[in-house]
Amino acid sequence: MFSKILIANRGEIACRVIRTARKLGIRTVAVFSEADTDAQHVRQADEAYPIGGPRPQDSYLRGDAILDVARRSGAQAIHPGYGFLSENADFAEAVEAAGIIFIGPKAHSMRKMGSKAGAKDLMQAAGVPVVPGYTGENQDGAHLHAEADRIGYPLMIKAAHGGGGKGMRIVHDTDGFAAHLESCQREAKNAFGRDRVLLERYIDKPRHIEIQIFGDDHGNVIHLNERECSAQRRYQKVLEESPSTLLSPPMRAAMGQAAVEAGRAINYVNAGTVEFIVGADGPGVESAFYFMEINTRLQVEHPVTELTTGLDLVEWQLRVAAGESLPQQQDQIARNGHAIEVRLYAEDPEAGFLPGSGKLLRLRLPSPSPHVRVDSGVVEGDVVSIFYDPMIAKLIVWDEDRSRALARMREALAQCEVSGPKSNIEFLEALVRHPAIVAGTIDTGYLDRHLYEFMPAQSADHDLLVAATVAQLLQQEHVQRELAAHSSEPDSPWAISDGWRLGHAGGRTLVFQHRDHRFELTAHGSDGAYRIEHGGRTVAVCGARMTDEVLSARFEGEGRRYSVAGGVTTLDIHDGMQRLRLEPLALYRFEQIDAGGSGHRVMSPMPGRIVLVKVAAGDVVIEGQEMLVMEAMKMELSLKSPRAGIVAEVRALAGDVVDGDATLVTLET
């Protein structure tokens, strides 16, 4: 076994590898960019070395810099994690040429699978079913268009290299093909350095099933059961689970065997994932399955396999890379219970899932237990950088069956709180309660077709609003008592926070902001007994108490319990089913007036790089017309005209790096 390894990655996967390495007594070496000087993977590793600027191409994609650190630190092996250089055959080959072990598959296997087109041809030759399409090298636009017409619509254009949902477009008719092809090729070029695409028939309402495989240098290839990843938004997985609700025992066995044959066809070594698409004719009804691709690395969702098999896949990776045989054979692989994973991101679902960035002013995640696992690369006070994936944490739960696992996930999400950048917590809470998830019938396109069903409620729930008011009252009274205790007259009646005024009982008015709505509630009483007036209704509250961020009280005689969390400028209240995030306000404040005339400007929604400018001064544009394309947080954003008009000025060029809220285009007024 190795005594020291280098981890050529960052964030939660680097921290994940460090945990297993430490368990095995292996010292770890981290690398970091200028943006990651204080990152958790840097703090947790035994050694850490800088490798360049904040952009991935200036640091984590610099194989030469990483190899230099490996040599200087004496690392015997390099673990690539996922993303960055994890599926780069040239890097794997350079590592081996330097006399260092690459903890992953061999370069020749990666090359065979690095091209989706070549992979499909190889699998078809090996007898693994593939989706009909075009995988040829002729990338002329007219030829591709003709092939698309031959295959028929709808079809999918996919980048031949790379993954992660980048460079993929669904085309519904021949008229839209050329524009989608151009966009797909551009995104593929930016993400993977190559713009080759393949075409394949689009299967309506498919399910996405992947099989975890493992191979060693002694000729053994096995699978570790399946994971279902059908809950996706724009080809990005948002919920993964094992086992799948779709597969019957015969189909599960057939897919497992096909995955093993796929691995054997390329002499696969170490961890990999064979991904299949399955057409579903209806709930619980299965049809044919087709090979999609092999991801030649550890997957983000590997923890669900670990929780249902009891195995440590990173430990398996290390042992296989060190030359050992697989720790278990196929008939020894267990399946126990049900596991589910979701990804907590700094992003704004209501703004098209726009990635966020900034300091995590408050971060609360559930405590780890036999039923709950948290994989994270950040802690409270860390910064979510604009340069990398905005993942905050992965929440993984396990229980004896699926219904219990879903209940565990709902409870785990209810315990989460993020203040600073916006997050997708409310979206995930809606997701794990949605009938399509509960019934196990969701297909890969459901979220995109019905996204509105998963969006946070626009209105504030009255009961939650009243409970938030009670929590705020108790907090105010606590502060008042603390101030009185340290004053010269601690027993003065004027120190009581009950709203009393000479001549009348008085009351206290509390003000909250929820999205674009302002709420005023009036409270009478003190010390846990109140009458709350709002919207023409009065609610009597008795026995209100706050203990360890839990509010308990009787509302109109009925007992209720709420979790309460306060950030720097926010108040979160949760009843176990839904949450409400409010911004407490002063009763009187000056309203800010927007004099900027936002309808005359196109602004950058966040820091990023301009990749395409499609208008010039003097151009006539219509409302919704695409004016620029920018790249930020590993995704392309289309910036469109807010109204019809004439372009007055273009303030950005392709290649420019711009700040958030920067004015990029102005329209004549």
Q: Domain for residue 421, yes or no?
A: yes
Instruction: Determine contact, residues 67/87, Cβ cutoff 8 Å.
Output: no
Average pLDDT over every residue of 208-218: 97
Residue 36 burial by Cβ neighbours in a 10 Å radius (0-12, 13-18, 19+): buried
> 308-320: buried (b, 16+ CB within 10 Å) or exposed (e) per residue?
bbebbbbbbbbbb
Task: Give how many domains the chain has, as a whole number.
Answer: 5
Comparing C-alpha atoms, which of 442, 415, 420, 417 is closest to residue 431?
442
For residue 503, what pLDDT is reported? 43
Q: Domain for residue 118, yes or no?
A: no
Please tell me whether residues 478 and 544 are part of one structural domain. yes
Q: Domain for residue 116, yes or no?
A: no
CA distance 271 to 297: 6
Please tell me whether residues 268 and 385 are part of one structural domain. yes
Least confident of 577-586, 595-604, 658-667: 595-604
Least confident of 25-34, 130-139, 438-447, 532-541: 130-139
Q: Percent of the chain beyond pLDDT 90?
A: 68
CA atoms within 13 A on the CB side of 333: 19
Length of the chain as a residue count:
669
**Taking the mean position of all CA atoms in its chain, how far away is CA 627?**
28
Q: At which residue do the structure tokens 């907090």 appear? A: 475
Tokens of 467: 């409970």
The answer on pLDDT for 285 being more than 90 is: no
Instruction: Determine contact, residues 154/203, Cβ cutoff 8 Å.
Output: no
Q: At which residue do the structure tokens 């409870």 appear? A: 411
The answer on pLDDT for 201 being more than 90 is: no
Comparing C-alpha atoms, which of 160, 156, 159 is closest to residue 170?
156
Please tell me whether residues 409 and 289 are part of one structural domain. yes
CA distance 29 to 420: 30
**Residue 129: its H or E element:** none
Angle of helix 89-97 versus helix 63-73 axis, rounded to 10: 30
Please tell me whether residues 328 and 412 are part of one structural domain. yes
For residue 433, what pLDDT is reported? 96
For residue 36, what pLDDT is reported? 96
Over residues 487-546, the pLDDT tens digits come to 666 666 555 555 554 444 468 899 999 888 889 999 999 999 999 999 889 999 999 999
For residue 593, what pLDDT is reported? 34
Q: Domain for residue 27, yes or no?
A: yes
CA distance 317 to 335: 20
Over residues 582-603, the pLDDT tens digits come to 988 876 543 433 333 356 889 8
Give the mean pLDDT of the chain.
89
Sheet architecture: strand order including 27-33: 47-52, 27-33, 4-7, 77-79, 101-102
Q: Are strands 133-134 and 101-102 parallel, antiparallel or unpaired?
A: unpaired
Over residues 608-626, the pLDDT tens digits come to 789 899 999 999 999 889 9
Q: Domain for residue 342, yes or no?
A: yes
CA distance 609 to 612: 9
Please tell me whether residues 605 and 657 are part of one structural domain. yes
Q: Pick the last residue of a domain from 82, 103, 124.
A: 103
| Residue ranges with strand state E in 527-588 | 529-534, 537-547, 550-555, 558-566, 571-574, 579-585
Please tell me whether residues 98 and 140 are part of one structural domain. no
Angle of helix 141-151 versus helix 177-192 axis, rounded to 10: 120
CA distance 209 to 290: 10
Q: How many CB atoms lie within 10 A of CB 201?
A: 16
Instruction: Determine contact, residues 299/273, Cβ cutoff 8 Å.
Output: yes
Q: Domain for residue 127, yes or no?
A: no
Residue 383 burial by Cβ neighbours in a 10 Å radius (0-12, 13-18, 19+): middle
Tokens of 480: 């008042």
For residue 283, what pLDDT is reported? 46
- Residue 168 β-bridge partners: 158
Please tell me whether residues 77 and 150 are part of one structural domain. no
Q: What is the 3-state secondary structure (H, E, C) of 485-513?
A: HCCCCCCCHHHCCCCCECCECCCEEEEEE
Q: For residues 417, 420, 421 and 427, what is the CA-based torsion angle, rounded to 10 degrees?
A: 20
Please tell me whether residues 90 and 65 are part of one structural domain. yes
Please tell me whether residues 433 and 471 are part of one structural domain. no
Over residues 230-265, the pLDDT tens digits come to 999 988 999 999 999 999 999 999 999 999 999 999
Please tell me whether residues 415 and 300 are part of one structural domain. yes
Amino acid found at 352: G
Domain range holding 434? 208-229+240-454
Dihedrals phi, psi of 307, to nearest 5 degrees: -75, -25
H-type alpha helices, 45-140: 63-73, 89-97, 107-114, 116-125
CA distance 478 to 618: 62
Active site residues: 297
The answer on pLDDT for 284 being more than 60 is: no
CATH number at residue 655: 2.40.50.100
Dihedrals phi, psi of 406, to nearest 5 degrees: -60, -40
CATH number at residue 417: 3.30.470.20
- The long-range contacts involving 620-624, CB below 8 angstroms and separated by at least 24 positions, are 620/645, 620/646, 620/647, 621/645, 621/646, 621/647, 621/667
For residue 369, what pLDDT is reported? 96
Q: Domain for residue 119, yes or no?
A: no
The answer on pLDDT for 321 being more than 50 is: yes
Please tell me whether residues 256 and 402 are part of one structural domain. yes
CATH number at residue 196: 3.30.1490.20
Please tell me whether residues 249 and 369 are part of one structural domain. yes
For residue 554, what pLDDT is reported? 96
- Residue 564 β-bridge partners: 573
Cα–Cα distances in angstroms (integers) from residue 390 to residues 279, 383, 607, in the given order: 32, 10, 13
CA distance 72 to 69: 5
Tokens of 653: 């060029």
DSSP code of residue 130? B
CA triple 386-166-231, angle to 5 deg: 95
**Taking the mean position of all CA atoms in its chain, how far away is CA 214?**
26
Average pLDDT over every residue of 335-361: 92
Q: Domain for residue 314, yes or no?
A: yes
CA distance 171 to 229: 22
Instruction: Determine contact, residues 227/241, Cβ cutoff 8 Å.
Output: yes
Question: End-to-end alpha-carbon separation of the chain, Å?
Answer: 70
For residue 356, what pLDDT is reported? 86
CATH number at residue 571: 3.30.700.30
Over residues 115-135, the pLDDT tens digits come to 767 778 888 888 888 888 898
Q: At which residue do the structure tokens 């360049």 appear? A: 52
CA distance 634 to 609: 10
Dihedrals phi, psi of 311, to nearest 5 degrees: -105, 155
Average pLDDT over every residue of 347-354: 89
CATH number at residue 62: 3.40.50.20
DSSP code of residue 20? H
How does residue 229 score in pLDDT terms, banded at 50, 70 and 90? Answer: very high
The answer on pLDDT for 280 being more than 80 is: no
Where residue 371 falls (left for φ over 0; alpha for ψ -120 to 50; beta otherwise) is alpha
Comparing C-alpha atoms, which of 568, 591, 567, 595 is closest to residue 579?
567
